[in-house]
Structure 1
Amino acid sequence: MKALIVDDERLARNELRRLLENFPKIEIIGEAANAEEALDLVDKLHPDLLFLDIQMPGKTGFELLTEIEGSVPDVIFTTAYDEYALKAFEYNALDYLLKPIDPNRLAEAINRLEEDIRHEEFKRENAKLLTAEDQVFVKDGEKCWFVKLGKIRLFESMGNYVRLHFDDQKPLILKSLNALDEKLDPHSFFRANRKHIINLQWVEKIEPWFSGGLLVTLKGGEKIEISRRQAIRFKDMMSL
C-alpha cells in the first residue's frame, strides 16, 4: 500500500511517518507540503492512499481531491480541526484523525483500510468489466432504454449524476463517473478528464491543445479536452 503524506507542517509529517513505522504494509513514497506539490506527486507516483491535512496554505485538502484526475486514492484525513468531519465523509474518506494523532485511532484506520482492500479485491475478482458489446438498462424519469455500451459515445459527470450521450438521447443516471470508470473496459473507454469518459470507437479527430493537452472531436459532434496528465497516458496507450 503506497502512501503519500500531505501536510504543511514538517513536524506533523515526521510524527506521522514515525507512527506509520509500526505498519509495514504502508509504504511512504513521498511527502507534500501543499496541494500543488501533492497533485504532481499523485500524478507521478500513483499512491494508493493519502494521509491528507485539510487547512493548508493555498488550496485545502478538499480542493486537492477535486483536482485529482482519474482514480482518486483512498483518503485518511489528518487535521487539528474537528468541524470538517461531516464534510470529509462526503469525500468518501476512510477515516478522520485529529491531531495529535492517537496511535490506537491510527491502528483502527489502517485496519479498516485493509478490510476495505480485501473487500474490493474480492469484488474485482468476481466482477466482469463491461465492454462495448454489453447492453445496459437505462432509466431516466418515465423513459427507459436497453442500449449497447458501444453506442454510448460520451459519459459526462453532472454532480452526483452522469449524462449518457447516445443517438439523440442524453439521459441522466444516478452514479458517479469514478464508479463507472472502474466498471468500463479501458480498451474501449478512456477517462479524458475529471468530467468525461469517451468511447474510443467514436473518436473522429484529435488535435493538439493548450498546455500539452489534446482536443478530441467525437462523431456525435462533441469536443472533449483530454487534460495534460491524461494526454500523456492516452499517447502511451494508443501508440505502437
Structure 2
Amino acid sequence: MNALIIEDEKLVALELTASLAEVDPGIKIVGTVSSVKTALRWFAENAEPDVIFADIQLSDGISFTIFEKFKISCPVIFTTAYNEHAIRAFKVNGIDYLLKPVDWDELRQAVAKARALTKNQNKLVVDVQKLMDALNTPASLKSTYKEHFLGNARNSWVPVKIADVAYIIRDELNFMVTNTSERYILDYDTLDEIETMLNPDLFYRASRHCLVNINAVQSVKGLANLKLQLVLKTPNHQVQIDISRDKAPSFKKWLEK
C-alpha cells in the first residue's frame, strides 16, 4: 500500500515513517511533503497514493486546501495536534484521525481501516466532500457545542457552565475541575467523546489525559527538554499540566489565536 505523508515538522514525519514501518511493513512511503504548495505540486506530478497521512495545520495553510484542488478518492488519515473544527466533521464522516503524539495501537487500527476503505473508493469521495462542506459552515458546527455539563458529586448531579470549567482530566474516570477547584465526575466513557462537545477555540487537548480551558491558563513555562508547563490560575495554580515537545508548536499557535 503506497502512502503519502503531509507534515511540516520533519521530526514528526520521520517518527511517523518509522512507526508505519513497524505497524505495517507492507506500506511504502512514496512521498513526504511539508506544505500546501509542495503537496499541490506532488499531486500534479504523481499518481494518487493508496492512503494519505496529513497534518491539518501546515506552515502555509491548512491541508484541506489540497483536497479542494484535487479530487481525492483514497482514505485520508489526519495526524494532528491542532484540534480545529475539522475534527468534528471528520469523525462524523467516518474518516480517521490520530492525535499527536501518535499512539502505536491507534495507528495500527487506522492503517487497518484504511486498507478496508480502499475497497470502496466511491464512498470515500463523498465523505471527503461532506467534510469540506462542513468546514465551510462553521456557524452550524459551533451551535452544537455544549454549554453545560452535569457533574456527579456525592451522588448528586450539579450543572456546571462550560465557561466555569478550568480543565478536564482522565484518572480512571473523567473528572471536571472548575475555576474554583471543585471536582466532579463526568459520565462519559472517554475524553475523545468529551472533546467533540467542546469549542476547540476554548479547550486544548494538552495530552491524552487532559483538556484545558484557555481562560484557566495563567502563564506558560518553557522547560529544558523543549516541553511546556502550564501554570493555571488560582486556586488551581498547583496543578501541573505539561505539553510535550511535539505538541508545543501547535499549542503556541492555539494560544495566539
TM-score tier (shorter): 0.5 to 0.7
Provide Cα deviations, 1:107-137, integer angstroms capped at 9, x if missing partner: 4254554555566667775432567xx6314
Displacement after TM superposition at 1:198 (Å): 0.7
Provide Cα deviations, 1:18-71, integer angstroms capped at 9, x if missing partner: xxxxx94867469xxxxxxxxxx89989988359xxxxxxxxxxxxx9xx8566
How much is the aligned-residue C-alpha RMSD, in angstroms?
4.8
Q: Does residue 236 in structure 1 map to residue 253 in structure 2?
A: yes
Provide Cα deviations, 1:135-163, integer angstroms capped at 9, x if missing partner: 3141538321221111100011346x532
Q: Give the SS at the match of 2:159.
A: strand
Higher relative contact order (CA closer than 8 Å, sequence separation 6+): 2
Hey, what does 1:36 align to over in structure 2?
none
Change (3 A) 1:50 1:137: closer
Q: Give the SS at the match of 1:232.
A: helix
User: For 1:50-89, what aligned pairs fall within 5 Å after superposition?
Assistant: 50=77, 74=96
Hey, what does 1:140 align to over in structure 2?
152
Counterpart of 2:177 in structure 1: which amino acid? H
CA contact (8 A) 1:129 1:183 kept: no
Hey, what does 1:216 align to over in structure 2?
230
After TM superposition, the score normalised by the length of structure 1 is 0.55
Structure 2 Cα separation of the partners of residues 12 and 93 of structure 1: 11
Structure 1 Cα separation of the partners of residues 213 and 24 of structure 2: 44
Q: Give the SS at the match of 1:162.
A: strand
Structure 2 Cα separation of the partners of residues 192 and 50 of structure 1: 21
CA contact (8 A) 2:82 2:251 kept: no
Q: Structure 2 stretches of 5 or more lacking a match? A: 6-16, 32-46, 64-74, 88-94, 98-104
After TM superposition, the score normalised by the length of structure 2 is 0.52
Q: Does residue 95 in structure 1 map to residue 113 in structure 2?
A: yes
Q: Give the SS at the match of 1:174.
A: coil
Displacement after TM superposition at 1:95 (Å): 2.7
Q: Give the SS at the match of 1:95.
A: helix
Hey, what does 1:165 align to over in structure 2?
177
Hey, what does 2:76 align to over in structure 1?
49
Counterpart of 1:74 in structure 2: which amino acid? D
CA contact (8 A) 1:190 1:200 kept: yes
> How many residue pairs were aligned?
190
Q: Does residue 206 in structure 1 map to residue 220 in structure 2?
A: yes
